[in-house]
Amino acid sequence: MQAIRLHPAPQGSPAYTPSNPAPTSALHLDTIPIPKPSAPGEILIRIKASTVIRDMLTWPETYQHEYTIPGNDLSGTVVEVFSPSSKSKFKPGDEVFGMANADRGATWAEYAILTENEIALKPLHLKWEEAAAVPLSGMTAFEALFVHAGMSIPDDDEDIQENHADRKPQEDRKKVLITGAAGGVGMYLVQLARIAGVHVTAATSSTARNKEFLSALGADALIEYPALKTQRDVYDIIIDTVGGQPLIDSWGCVKEDGVLISVDSSSFNFVNEHTNQGIQRTGIKALFFIVEGGSRALNALSRFADLGVLRVFVLTCYPLEKAREAYEYGNGRGSGRGKVVLLI
């Protein structure tokens, strides 16, 4: 099979590490053997699409072993299930989507091994590239709201569609603030919060640029970051995706018994840091987390997509052999919304 692998640094040069990340020229299209399922729960998938994740070449996981195959998100078709296949939830021919564990990755390839709990049946109404764009960002948003913030998912499809249509009285709804609402995770947070039936305030660097987009996703109100300094005890839940000053200012905006969560990678120790700086407020549940992923979140996201209440955005697609160009484009600061996808 063909796969993109990260080759080691040239002999005599310093080894590639997170602090000395590999250049894109270290990504090579190689021909290697197709892997085989070797343990219960393992599934061989023919990959149709995977995503390019910003700054992947700075991740510690990228350098755990030589000749790493990058990639975590995927959509594709089940080829083989480790025997006895009768006990598996999946069978050859099933169209699936999901996310490989960060320690393994390996989805920038024609085939990859995943486990049963890392995949789910692909949403019927999404294309391969759209389905591959969902898992990492969508599951991060799902876990922030429905796991760590304790929000409830409506049981009935009609309730979900009613929430999406905004028919619930304003006074009955909890208030949720999302920073970086127009970003890769933020756009899922806005939509999932709307599905949950809460009042959604989207915080952004520019309401002029993002108002139409965020309102269409379901935001009830928009504010720019300086406005956070003037608000006090307003929101039941704040989900931060940007860190920095907006996260600092969020402590004053969240209610005394509220929840403050950050998924910004540079803010992994924000609770301790803000406590030492005297910013933290008692009585607030505050935490940073890294997405775990799993079939529960994937199945819910698939359900929402097929109900037509979850929109997915793909910025552009590249063939596998142009992975270098795709990574450089994905790490740029160009305009546009959605994921950069590799079609395989």
Average pLDDT value for residue range 8-34: 96
Average pLDDT value for residue range 251-255: 96
- State pLDDT tens for residues 73-129: 999 999 999 976 567 889 999 999 999 988 888 999 999 999 999 999 999 999 999
Long-range own/partner contacts, residues 200-203 (CB < 8 A, 24 or more apart): 200/176, 201/175, 201/176, 201/177, 201/235, 202/178, 203/177, 203/178, 203/179, 203/227, 203/228, 203/246
The residue whose two tokens read 């920038």 is 108
Residue 178, both tokens: 């999302």
Average pLDDT value for residue range 5-25: 95
What rounded mean pLDDT belongs to the chain? 93
Of all residues in the chain, what percent carry a pLDDT higher than 70?
Answer: 97
Among 53, 34, 30, residue whose Cα is nearest residue 44: 34
Average pLDDT value for residue range 268-274: 96
Residue 183 has a pLDDT of 94
pLDDT band at 333 (very low <50, low <70, confident <90, very high): low
According to CATH, the superfamily of the domain at 138-288 is: NAD(P)-binding Rossmann-like Domain (3.40.50.720)
Instruction: Kindly report the pTM of this predicted structure.
Output: 0.95
pLDDT band at 157 (very low <50, low <70, confident <90, very high): confident
Q: Does domain 2-134+312-343 have CATH number 3.40.250.10?
A: no
CB 196 within 8 A of CB 151: yes
**Does position 170 have pLDDT exceeding 70, yes or no?**
no
Residue 17, both tokens: 């590490």
- State pLDDT tens for residues 106-115: 999 999 999 9
Side-chain-facing half-sphere of 132: CA atoms under 13 Å: 30
- State pLDDT tens for residues 189-204: 999 999 999 999 999 9
Residue 161 has a pLDDT of 81
| β-strand pairing of 235-240 with 254-262 | parallel
Q: Where are the domains of the chain?
A: 2-134+312-343, 138-288
